[in-house]
């Protein structure tokens, strides 16, 4: 039986204004001190049991609350990189390559550490013609490598990966060393100091193992569980993170370019 037209047209995404600040970078930085908003985000992702609904595109239900918190976590992520002498001593090109590879998983690690939760809502489709046109756009995006917009399914998978980290209840030191493991990825193509980066990766993993042995001496499988959970968030598409959390902030601007500016800018925003 086909769903009624009334049911099909009842879904609506809360309209949110795409902000076009005078300076996008300043707008992101102005949202860094927003920890007081975390207590307000007592939401969970809307559940959808229908298979067809899992593929429907979504957006943040409360972008005015969630985007400031996400921007704060992102700024802290870049400041973490800038605060590591071992990272800032790398050639500038290597820093840029590592930033491009790791900003999304490190951001998600920050979301997990601060236990940021959020709610999404369906993006409305006003007509069958609109759905056909959007489907064509999605095919075009797949072809040119820009990726697809967030869906209930992809957001649910993201939330599941975050919960894996929550369930491990990592200490601040475990999070810190895990960031180092994820940041110093020797497999990034084009690194001029790949051997040095590989050494930093091993050093961070060794430090993580030592703190685990100190805090959880009887949990012999904890390191593997942590690295597995970290690996799972590294598979999350950067496009998903960008479209879900930052498109309302940066608009059509390049987020990586803004992050690079934050990383290499002389003034210290801490």
Residue pLDDT tens, the chain, 270 long? 434 444 434 444 444 444 444 456 666 665 544 444 444 443 343 344 454 556 789 999 999 999 999 999 999 999 999 999 999 999 999 999 999 999 999 999 999 999 999 999 998 764 445 455 555 455 444 433 345 789 999 999 999 999 999 999 999 999 999 999 999 999 999 999 999 999 999 999 999 999 999 999 999 999 999 999 999 999 999 999 999 999 989 998 999 999 999 999 854 444
What does each C-alpha distance from 9 to 4, 6, 63, 127, 247 come to in angstroms? 9, 5, 23, 9, 25
Model-level pTM?
0.76
**Rounded to an integer, what distance in angstroms lies between the CA atom of residue 34 and that of residue 72?**
7
Radius of gyration of the chain (CA): 20
Which domains, ranges and CATH numbers included, belong to the chain? 10-264 (1.10.565.10)
Max CA pair span of the chain = 64
* Cβ 147 vs Cβ 239: under 8 Å: yes
Q: Which two tokens stand for residue 238?
A: 């950067």
CA atoms within 13 A on the CB side of 106: 26
CA nearest neighbour of 99 among 229, 268, 258, 243: 258
């Amino acid at each position: 039986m086909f769903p009624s037209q009334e049911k099909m047209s009842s879904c609506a995404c809360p309209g949110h204004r795409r902000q076009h600040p005078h300076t996008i970078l300043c707008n992101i930085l102005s949202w860094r001190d927003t920890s007081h908003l975390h207590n307000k985000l007592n939401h969970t992702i809307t559940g959808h049991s229908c298979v067809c609904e899992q593929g429907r595109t979504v957006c943040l239900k409360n972008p005015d609350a969630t985007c400031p918190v996400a921007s704060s976590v992102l700024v802290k992520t870049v400041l973490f990189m800038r605060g590591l002498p071992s990272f800032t001593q790398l050639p500038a090109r290597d820093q840029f390559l590592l930033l491009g590879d790791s900003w999304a998983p490190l951001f998600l690690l920050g979301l997990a550490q601060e236990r940021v939760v959020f709610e999404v809502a369906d993006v409305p489709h006003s007509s069958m013609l609109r759905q056909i046109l959007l489907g064509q756009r999605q095919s075009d995006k797949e072809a040119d490598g820009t990726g697809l917009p967030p869906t209930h399914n992809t957001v649910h998978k993201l939330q599941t990966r975050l919960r894996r980290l929550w369930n491990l209840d990592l200490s601040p030191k475990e999070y810190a060393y895990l960031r180092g493991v994820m940041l110093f990825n020797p497999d990034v193509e084009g690194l001029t100091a790949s051997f040095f980066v590989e050494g930093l990766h091993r050093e961070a993993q060794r430090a993580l193992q030592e703190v685990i042995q100190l805090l959880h001496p009887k949990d012999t499988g904890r390191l593997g569980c942590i690295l597995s959970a970290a690996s799972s968030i590294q598979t999350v598409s950067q496009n998903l993170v960008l479209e879900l959390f930052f498109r309302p902030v940066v608009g059509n601007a390049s987020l990586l370019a803004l992050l690079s500016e934050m990383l290499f800018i002389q003034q210290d925003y801490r």
